[in-house]
Amino acid sequence: MEVAALAGLVLVVGIVVLLVLGIPVSVAVGTSAAAAAITALGFENGLLTSAQQMFRGINNFSLLAIPFFVLAGVIMNNGGIALRLVNFAKAMVGRAPGSLAQTNVAANALFGAVSGSAVASVAAVGSTMGPLQAREGYPRDFAAATNIASAPSGMIIPPSNLMIVYSLVSSTSIAALFVAGYVPGLLWAAVCMVIVHLYARKRPALRVSERLSFAGRMRVAAEALPALLLIVIVIGGILAGFFTPTEASCIAVVYALVLSFAYKAIRVRDLPGILLESARTTAIVMFLVAVSAVMSWVMSFARIPQLVTDAMFTLSTNPYVLILLIVVLLLAIGCFMDPTPAVLIFAPIFLPVVTAFGMDPIHFGIFMVLALSIGTITPPVGPVLFVGARVADISIESVVRRMLPFFVALVVLLLVVALTPALSMWLPTLVGLS
């Protein structure tokens, strides 16, 4: 067996075996990639190349946006912003069927958009909305399912750390990815609202909600406006060319910090804990990026992307069949792996396949993020599913049964987005980013 093929075999078998043994993804990828590099180049050169590739992987100015967006999200999660966004969402939804559940969906989309974290959103919004829905007579399993199913919309609506990671792997524009995520992200929230509407329409008791006067709506909107302006400042500034995504992430931190102090939700003594939490999250992501750079080098050396491309085109040359196959694979991958390592591992493998039949890498990035976001609410790994169930104090089994309509609707949405490039590409094209 030639050296390149042997190195590729060591990489693939090593990752699979270590993951089956329960080793953390980052350690599994890093160990297997280093072993493959040693197989290809010898012990000393293999270790040296691994170290060089790890440094190269994180030596990227664009990656500075990740720790700052993470920090901004942690500040907002502790800074009293969630409650104001919930009140604003409630004022927008009004007295629609299942208004409190509709409010939950809208609040998750808003909070996810400003924090960039589905886990933070499901925890912050769920802890606020859960007791309110319980008092209004909403079944606990339905309330939890609505909160969990709608939380990942914030992973697609910018700013999104997952899109920054995909941008690094695919060498695509972060700004273009951010803009492309708006329509699919809002469609995710709309799909959840439709499911809630169909459920609540048959249950008149769930239609009751507090009626707000026009003055009350204006007051709630005014309280939420500073938080909502963060989206305008970050995305508007990037599109207008006032600052880069990395600079925008720094501005987001300063703005969130000033806002949280103005709301008197955090104090100076809270800052060490906030910094520590964001540092832990950042360390996990950056270590994954570093070891994935070694893995990418080994895959290139072993020609794994080219072999996968050839194999898939052997199965079919029909672009629609290949897209459906990739969608199924991504959904399966999302059930067992967190989105960040999944993007780092599988984007370099699938990207040559889709670009070979003319798909724009930005469009592929959006539907890849969408598919892996569904994985965050799917057992057996789904972090958003487990956090949401824990916040609602309800069993996973009860929530999953109630979430089945959401699953079906979101998979249909994924297929529509995957097969309809215009949904992702028209907005970047409109603003001249594609």
Q: Please give the residue range of the domain that contains residue 345.
A: 60-266+303-430
Q: Is residue 105 part of a domain?
A: yes
**Closest Cα to residue 348, out of 285, 295, 312?**
295
Residue 278 within a domain = no
- Helical segments of 171-318, H only: 174-180, 182-201, 214-240, 245-262, 271-302, 304-315
Give CA–CA dist 255/263, Å, rounded: 12
Q: Enter the tokens of residue 140.
A: 């606990």
Predicted confidence at residue 87, as pLDDT, reads 77
Contact 384, 376 (CB under 8 A): yes
**Are both 1 and 104 inside the same structural domain?**
no
Residue 203 lies in a domain: yes
Cβ atoms of 336 and 137 within 8 Å: the answer is no
Residue 259: its pLDDT value, please? Answer: 87
- Give the sign of the dihedral formed by CA 337, CA 339, CA 340, CA 341: positive
Kindly state whether residues 318 and 412 are assigned to the same domain: yes
pTM: 0.85
Peptide bond into 159 cis (omega under 30): yes
| 107 and 224 housed in the same domain | yes
d(CA 429, CA 13): 42
Same domain, 178 and 116: yes
Indicate whether 43 and 154 sit together in one domain. no
Residue 187's pLDDT is 95
CA 318 to chain centre: 29
In the Cβ-directed half-sphere of 338, how many Cα atoms lie within 13 Å? 17
* DSSP state letters, 264-290: T---GGGHHHHHHHHHHHHHHHHHHHH
Same domain, 130 and 84: yes
Same domain, 23 and 141: no
According to the model, what pLDDT value does residue 206 have?
A: 66
Tell me the C-alpha distance between 342 and 344, whole Å: 5
Would 279 be classed as within a structural domain? no
pLDDT of amino acid 114? 72
Instruction: Confirm if 277 and 75 have CB atoms less than 8 A apart.
Output: no
In a domain, 413, yes or no: yes
Quote the number of domains for the chain: 2
Phi, psi (degrees; rounded to nearest 5) at 246: -65, -45
On whether residue 145 sits in a domain, the answer given is yes
Q: Determine the pLDDT at residue 106.
A: 86
HSE-CB of 432 using CA atoms within 13 angstroms: 4
Q: Compute φ and ψ for 54, nearest 5 degrees.
A: -60, -45
C-alpha 218/C-alpha 124 separation (Å) is: 24
Pairwise CA distance, residues 377 & 152, whole Å:
8
CA distance 30 to 294: 7
Residues 101 and 211 grouped into a single domain: yes
For the CA atoms of 156, 158, 162, 165, the dihedral, rounded to the nearest 10 degrees, stands at 140
Query: Do 113 and 12 fall within a single domain?
Result: no
106: which 2 tokens? Answer: 């809208």
**246, 275, 302 - which closes a domain:** 302
Residue type at 20 in one-letter notation: V
Domain assignment present for residue 363? The answer is yes
What's the one-letter identity of residue 411?
V
10 and 114 in a common domain: no
Each residue's pLDDT, cut to its tens digit, for the chain (434 residues) gives: 588 888 888 988 998 899 888 888 888 889 999 999 999 888 889 999 999 999 988 888 878 888 888 888 788 877 777 778 777 877 777 666 778 888 889 888 888 777 777 887 888 788 878 887 887 788 889 999 999 999 998 889 888 888 988 998 888 988 899 999 999 999 999 999 999 988 888 776 665 556 666 677 788 778 888 888 887 888 788 877 888 888 888 898 898 898 888 888 888 899 999 899 889 888 888 888 888 889 888 988 888 888 888 888 888 888 899 999 999 999 988 887 888 888 988 898 899 889 988 899 999 999 999 999 998 898 877 888 888 888 888 888 889 889 999 999 999 999 999 999 999 999 998 888 76
Clarify whether residues 239 and 357 are in a common domain.
yes
| Pair 425, 419: CB distance under 8 Å | no
Give me the DSSP letters along 56-68: HHH--GGGGHHHH
- What pLDDT is attached to residue 209? 56
- Cα(414)–Cα(225) distance, integer angstroms: 31
Q: Which region holds residue 265: left if phi is over 0, alpha if psi is between -120 and 50, else beta? A: alpha
Of 252, 277, 302, the residue at which a domain comes to its end is 302
pLDDT value of residue 73:
79
Q: Is residue 126 part of a domain?
A: yes
Assess whether 153 and 167 both reside in one domain. Answer: yes
